[in-house]
Structure 1
C-alpha cells in the first residue's frame, strides 16, 4: 500500500462517519480543507482508542504508539500517513501527546458533570492549541468548553458501555437524557476556526437527534446540512 493510498483510507474512514462533510466542506477555505480532513481523521483515531470495546490492551498500545508519533512530529519526523499532511505544521504536537492519557481515564465511570468536564479539559486545551496553529484562529476558553463537550458527546454516543453521571440513581435511559441535555447546555456553538465550527455543529446536531447511546443517527439531508453549515460558518 502506497502512502497516498494509506492516507486516503484514513480520510475515507472519517468521511464515512460524517457523510454531511461533503456538503458543508464548501464553507472551509480551500487551502485548509485537506488539513482539516486529516486533523479530524486523527482525532477520530483517538476517539476510537477511548471507546474501545473488550480488551483495552491493544488500544492502549496504539495510544502509546501515537504518543511517540506525536513527539516525533514535534521534531519534524513522521511515520503515519496522516503525518504527511499534519507534521509539517509547527504545532504543539508534544503537548497533545502529553494529554493523550486522558483518553484512558475517560473509559472509567464519569462521575458528575463537573468532574467529567475537568477530566477532559487538558485534552481539549491541547486540541484547541493545535487548531490555533493549524488554522490560524484563537477561540479562548469558549473553544475549550466546546471541544470538551464534543469529546464527551463522542464518549456518550459511540460507546455502549459508558457509565454516565447519575446512572446508578436514575437508570440508563433517564441518565442518558440528563447527560445529553447537560452537555448541550455546556456546549458553546460556533467557536474556533470554520472547520471546527462545522464539525462541532454536526456533532451537536447528532447528539440532539440521537435517542440513546450507540443507537446511530441518520445523516442530515443535504439541504439541512447546508443550512447548518452556513449558520456555523457565518457565526450568526
Structure 2
C-alpha cells in the first residue's frame, strides 16, 4: 500500500484488519493523489491541505522525493488550530499532529511512514509493518505481479486491498498462487462535526478531533466489510 498523508479511516481499518502491512517506498510518486495531501473540515466544507515537495522527476519513487526546503509546519498547524480548536478532542490530537508535522526527516517516505506509525500508536493499532524495498523480490515487477511476489515472499495466503483495487487485481491470478484476494469496503461513518452538515471521508485528523480513541476503536475501526 502506498503511504498517505493523514489518510481517511479506511486506511487504518486496512492496517488493523491484517497481520502484516506492507507499505511501498519503491513505487512512483503520483501527482494529485493522496500521497502528500488530504482534506480537512473548514467552515463546514472540505478543503485540501498538503505537504510541499521539492521539484523532482515524475519517474522518481516516493522514497526518492523530499519535502520542500521552505516547508513550515506552523502553516499547517495554524490551519488545524483555526479549524478544530473547539473540537472535543482538540488538545490531544493537535499535540499528535504537531509531533508528526515537526518530524525532522525531509524524506517523503520517512516523513509519511512516521506519521502513520504515530497515528496507529494513538489508536492502539499494533500490526506488524514491512517496507516493500526490504522484501527480497524482483522489484522491477509491476502492479499485480509485484503484489503476488510480495505475498509469496512474506509467506501469506491472504491479501487484503482497499475496495478500489477491484479494477486492478484478479482473484484468479492470486488463486493460482494459492493466495486468497479480498477487498475491504469501509462502512459509511457519521459523527457530529460542530453543528454543520456532516462531510464524510475526510482525513483521520477529522475523525480523531471529534471522537475519542475509545469511540474510534469501538465504532469506526471495525466498521468495514471484506468482500
TM-score, length basis structure 1:
0.31
More strand, by proportion: 2
- Counting helix residues as a fraction of each chain, which structure ranks higher? 1
Q: TM-score normalised to the size of structure 2?
A: 0.32
Report the structure number with the largest CA radius of gyration.
Answer: 2
User: Using CA pairs below 8 Å that are at least 6 residues apart, which structure has the higher relative contact order?
Assistant: 2
